[in-house]
Amino acid sequence: MTPATQGPSSPNPAAPVRASGTFTIAGDLPVHRLGFGAMRITGPGVWGEPSDVDQARGVLREAVRLGVDFIDTAQAYGPEVSEQLIAEVLHPYPAGLVIATKGGIARRDRDDPGRSDGRPERLRSDCEGSLTRLRLDTIDLWQLHCIDPNIALEDQIGTVRELQDEGKIRHFGLSQVTVEQLQQVRALIDVATVQNLFNYADRTSEDVLAVCQADGIGFIPWYPLATGELAQPGRPLAHAAQRHGVTTPQIALAWLLHQSPAMIPIPGTGSIAHLRENANAALIELSAKELHALDSAAINE
């Protein structure tokens, strides 16, 4: 193991993410079903360098030490900062580590949430820039950050197919799509994963998840730890956390892992303590009774 991937000098506990089981992306890339989202290793507003660069580096090292073998990032995170840190800390990458990234979003400043930019030249530039920053010859999973409604879908996907033919992209994923959009894209190219908003408090993408599970497409929920008022004292989420001696976000993450074998949560954090807490959620076994209570509470909210 290279120095960049070594853990701290303290005794190494078991890697809890391995308890989450695995999903094989596109029938080709096996990953444990608890990944790491690298958005929060950047500065405030996902802009610029992190306030504590050493801590961000430590989070990446600890993620790999804990058994994480799927890291999700994007050109827009920083922009470019997240990808640069990942390469700086983890390259040469451990065998089996899958790094997914995204392109197709333009941001002007910290306050700009970003807008879709699916122009072919932009998608090519984003992909080739990610290859350089991540020090890769091929990106295992490159995702379209969101479909640009102002550019013909055939032109956006055609660019991705060209990049695949050139060996720059291995597998392709989508983000922020409906079932209809997913079907339209799948008519043009194989889709390996979908990354949509999904958590205990917001299940509006349940129909997309159902399609993904049925067709062997990985489903990557972003904002996975959101719980809203459902985490308040006296609610089933809090009861379950108390019974298991864990936090409500850990129960929310365990709940996600129980929803589907295609589910690959990617909780992100800039804190090693929170990273370990998230990883330990993979060890939580929720009973059928607990799952029923949790689901009923959310439905009746």
pLDDT tens per residue, range 58-95: 999 999 999 999 999 999 999 999 999 999 999 999 99
Selecting among 77, 93, 200, 223, the annotated active-site residue is 77
Structure-token match 């089933």, residue found: 236
User: What domains lie within the chain, and their CATH numbers?
Assistant: 13-226+259-271 (3.20.20.100)
Q: Kindly report the pTM of this predicted structure.
A: 0.93
Show Cβ contacts of residue 153 under 8 Å, excluding neighbours closer than 6 positions: 147, 184, 185, 188
Least confident of 48-57, 99-108, 198-207, 223-232: 223-232
pLDDT band at 271 (very low <50, low <70, confident <90, very high): very high
pLDDT of residue 246: 95
The pLDDT value recorded for residue 281 is 95
pLDDT at 236: 85
The 3-class secondary structure across 160-220, one letter per residue, is HHHHHHCCCEEEEEEECCCHHHHHHHHCCCCCCEEEEECECCECCCHHHHHHHHHHCCEEE
- The pLDDT tens digits for 153-193 are 999 999 999 999 999 999 999 999 999 999 999 999 999 99
Averaged pLDDT of the chain: 92
- Total residue length of the chain: 301
Mark whether 93 is an active-site residue.
no
Residue 2 pLDDT > 60: no
